Structure 1
Amino acid sequence: MSKVYDVIVLGAGPAGLAAGLYAGRSRLSTLVIEKGKDGGQIAITDDIENYPGQIVEGESGPSLIARMTQQCEKFGVERASDVINEVHLDGDIKVLKSAKAEYQSKTVIIATGAFARPIGCKGEKEFMGKGVSYCATCDANFFEDFEVYVVGGGDSAVEEAMYLTKFARKVTIIHRRDELRAAKSIQEKAFKNEKLHFMWDTVVEEVGGDGILSEMTVKNVKTGELTKIVADEDDGMFGVFGFIGTLPNSKIYEGTGLEMDERGYIPTDADMHTNIPGVFAAGDIRVKSLRQVVTAAADGAIAATQAEKYINELK
């Protein structure tokens, strides 16, 4: 018979690792399951400047996550590298299945996160964290006095573009249509911003450069004309921010009875409870207004604390 854990955490990003840390310190038998590398989206961030109390110069996403992982290990958190493909969340014992194993637990903390919808251009993957970003709040400081381009035309894209104008000397929105999809109130503010420019009917075909982003080819969707953009010689680089939406890693929970919104994000209360008793959601996978390392870590801590409370009430 499989071991029945007190807590199983799905995902080893900041939310999952914080949940593991708090559960482990509470002497709960805890298993963190991650299908890939620890860290989630933060693992592709070269520099971090906005994590409270950060004292390590040149902190990177991987270095921060490595310390979180070590903290979990210190408090006895078990680890499994596996891909869960079937979940049964009802009942007192939750059952998670993969191709090679079955896991059982009294509680489950879902921290499988979300991922930025890719721009879809050639070279995008190679230049993630080297000029291509999906988070203005995370990376705006690194482009102070540089030119940046924002791909998208919805609320998030325009709001993030306006935020970037506080740092970059020029921000250009690249949109595949000839008008924005953002709310009119947001558009009005954007059009009044002198540092904000627009490239209509355009998509990004390719990004490139010598180790850091300095070239981009765009295409006019109406004429098919290709234009190559090269970074200013004094700058040597520019930034491209993709804001065409995020996608939650939640498909596996479809049909399980777990409530999700129309986009696949999981609603919770302030204590990370989902609609299923003993099942909690933390981090980017849940419905929330700000997706950052600090909010993910807080979610994980709350979820683990509530999991302990739930287990105690079962006794």
Structure 2
Amino acid sequence: MAHVYDTIIIGGGPAGLSAGLYAARSRMDTLLIERAKYGGQATTTDELENYPGSIENCTGTTLSQRMRKQAEDFGVNFVKNEVLDVDFDGKVKVIKCKNDETYEAKSVIIATGAYPRLAGFDREVELRGRGVSYCATCDADFFTDLDIAVIGGGDSAITEAIYLTKFAESVTVIHRRDELRAAKSLQEKAFKNPKIKFIWNSVPLEAKGDEILESLVIENRKTGEKSEVEVNGCFVFVGYLPISEVFKGKINMNDRGDIITDQEMRTNVEGVFAAGDIREKSLRQVITAAADGAIAATNAEHYIQNNFAE
């Protein structure tokens, strides 16, 4: 007979690790499955200054390592594997992974996260964390009094461009169309801000710089003309993609693929919860992911108490 865990957490970022900590501290038999690196997107942040209580020189990687160790010390079982399929139909949930590994649990917490959509220009990945960023809230302070670019024209891009003006000397919004897609109220604020400039009908082709970003080569989509913009930072806001493919058809999602939950992290499937960036939510940060994980684990415990009599 297969071992049935109290809860299985899918994903080892801040949401999953926080859920593991809270579940294990509640004496729940807990398994966490992670396919790649513990810490998720947080590990791409070289300095993590906006997490309450961060130690000096805290990085996303070191914080994630401490979170994992803390969860492990309380008894979380960790497995490195990739989830290929799930069966949420029965009272006991079934998680199928690579190498014919199958796990069962009374509850499941989905914390697979999301990843930023790349703009697709040359050396974008190479200079990530060295001038190319995907999170203004995380990294804006590093670009104080510098010239930076923002790629995109939607709500996120313009909201973050306005936010970045609190730090940067100038912010140049580079947008592939001749008008913004952001809400009119945001557009009005951006157009009135003296620090924000706009380059229309253009896309980035290449990031230049030896160790750090020094400039962007851009191309006008209408004329084909290429030019170079000197910037020390480039913030890409062309969308986030939820890592939710394996759950499609198994659970309610929005059109983007974000899993829909209530404020208690409950999905439409009894006994299945979701936490962190995989959720439909407004703020994607380490602190909100950790909070989601704690809430999900607490409610998973309540669910088990109410549905699995000893």
Question: TM-score range with shorter-chain normalisation?
Answer: over 0.9
Q: Structure 1: where are the runs of 5+ without partners?
A: 232-237
1:292 alignment counterpart:
285
CA distance in 2, matches of 1:122, 1:104: 44
2:29 alignment counterpart:
29
CA distance in 1, matches of 2:37, 2:115: 14
Q: CA deviation at 1:229?
A: 2.8
CA distance in 2, matches of 1:214, 1:48: 23
Q: Structure 2: where are the runs of 5+ without partners?
A: none
Higher mean displacement: 207-216 or 37-46: 207-216
1:129 alignment counterpart:
129
Q: Which string of whole-angstrom CA distances, capped at 9 and with x for unpartnered residues, describes residues 93-130 of structure 1?
A: 00011231001110000000011111111111111111
CA distance in 2, matches of 1:307, 1:199: 49
Q: Does 1:77 align with 2:68?
A: no
Q: CA deviation at 1:289?
A: 1.2
1:139 alignment counterpart:
139
1:200 alignment counterpart:
200
Q: CA deviation at 1:226?
A: 1.7
TM-score normalised to structure 2 length: 0.97
Give the aligned residue type for 2:91.
D
CA distance in 1, matches of 2:91, 2:83: 19
RMSD over aligned CA atoms reads 1.0
Q: Which string of whole-angstrom CA distances, capped at 9 and with x for unpartnered residues, describes residues 208-262 of structure 1?
A: 312211132111111212212335xxxxxx1100111111001111111x10011
2:244 alignment counterpart:
250
2:66 alignment counterpart:
67
Give the aligned residue type for 1:163.
Y
2:294 alignment counterpart:
301
CA distance in 1, matches of 2:142, 2:57: 12
TM-score normalised to structure 1 length: 0.96
Alignment of 1:103-182 (within 5 A): 103-182=103-182
SS of 1:156 mapped into structure 2 = helix
Alignment of 1:9-48 (within 5 A): 9-48=9-48
SS of 1:91 mapped into structure 2 = coil
SS of 2:71 mapped into structure 1 = helix
Alignment of 1:205-284 (within 5 A): 205-231=205-231, 238-256=232-250, 258-284=251-277
Give the aligned residue type for 2:222.
K
Give the aligned residue type for 2:94.
V
Q: How many residues align?
A: 307
CA distance in 1, matches of 2:242, 2:31: 22
1:96 alignment counterpart:
95
Matched-pair identity in %: 57
Higher mean displacement: 219-228 or 24-33: 219-228
Q: CA deviation at 1:24?
A: 0.9
CA distance in 2, matches of 1:249, 1:279: 16
CA distance in 1, matches of 2:191, 2:256: 29
SS of 2:122 mapped into structure 1 = coil
Alignment of 1:47-66 (within 5 A): 47-54=47-54, 56-66=55-65
Give the aligned residue type for 1:115.
Y
